[in-house]
Amino acid sequence: MAKEKFVRDKPHVNIGTIGHVDHGKTTLTSAITAVLHKAGLAEYRSFDSIDAAPEEKERGITIAIAHVEYRSEKRHYAHVDCPGHADYIKNMITGAAQMDGAVLVVSAADGPMPQTKEHVLLARQVQVPDIVVFLNKVDMVDDPELLELVELEVRDILNKYKFAGDKIPIIRGSALKAGQCLCGKRDCPNCKCIFELIDACDSHIPEPIREKDKPFLMPVEDVFTISGRGTVVTGRVERGKVKVGEQVEIVGFKDESVKTVVTGVEMFRKELDYGEAGDNVGLFQTMYWGSIVVFLLFALGVATRVTGVLSWIIVVS
Choosing from 38, 85, 117, 204, the catalytic residue is 85
Q: Show the CA angle centred on residue 285, arms to residues 284 and 288, nearest 5°.
A: 115
Question: Is 273 annotated as catalytic?
Answer: no
159 alpha carbon, distance to own chain's centre: 23
Radius of gyration of the chain (CA): 20
Q: What pTM was estimated for this model as a whole?
A: 0.80
Helices (H), the chain: 25-38, 47-50, 54-59, 89-96, 114-125, 144-160, 175-181, 192-204
Say if residue 16's pLDDT is above 80.
Answer: yes
- pLDDT given at position 302: 35
| 41-69 pLDDT tens trace | 988 988 788 855 445 445 444 456 788 99
277 alpha carbon, distance to own chain's centre: 15
- List Cα–Cα distances, 285 to 162, 249, 264, 265, 276, in angstroms: 41, 11, 8, 10, 17
Question: Is 33 annotated as catalytic?
Answer: no
Distance CA 61, CA 85 (A): 8
Look at residues 55, 95, 63, 62 and name the one whose alpha carbon lies nearest to residue 79: 95
- pLDDT given at position 297: 44
- pLDDT given at position 280: 83
Q: What DSSP designation does 127 have?
A: T
Question: Is 26 annotated as catalytic?
Answer: yes
What is the mean pLDDT of the segment spanning 129-136? 97
Q: Enumerate domains of the chain plus CATH numbers.
A: 12-204 (3.40.50.300), 217-316 (2.40.30.10)
Choosing from 26, 27, 62, 94, the catalytic residue is 26
Q: Is residue 106 left, alpha or beta, with left meaning phi > 0 and alpha meaning psi from -120 to 50?
A: beta
Question: Is 94 annotated as catalytic?
Answer: no
Choosing from 12, 20, 25, 79, the catalytic residue is 25
Long-range Cβ contacts of 28-31 (<8 Å, 24+ apart): 28/103, 28/105, 28/134, 28/136, 28/175, 29/66, 29/68, 29/79, 29/81, 30/175, 30/179, 31/175, 31/176, 31/178, 31/179, 31/194
Mean pLDDT of the chain: 81
| 72-119 pLDDT tens trace | 999 999 998 887 555 556 666 777 778 899 999 999 999 999 999 999
Distance CA 118, CA 214 (A): 34
The CA-to-CA distance between both ends of the chain, in Å, stands at 43
- pLDDT given at position 93: 74
Choosing from 17, 22, 116, 279, the catalytic residue is 22
Say if residue 147's pLDDT is above 70.
Answer: yes
Distance CA 34, CA 178 (A): 8
- pLDDT given at position 291: 59
Q: Is residue 122 left, alpha or beta, with left meaning phi > 0 and alpha meaning psi from -120 to 50?
A: alpha
User: Lowest-confidence range among 80-84, 155-159, 196-200, 210-214?
Assistant: 80-84
Distance CA 73, CA 199 (A): 9
Distance CA 277, CA 62 (A): 28
Say if residue 130's pLDDT is above 90.
Answer: yes
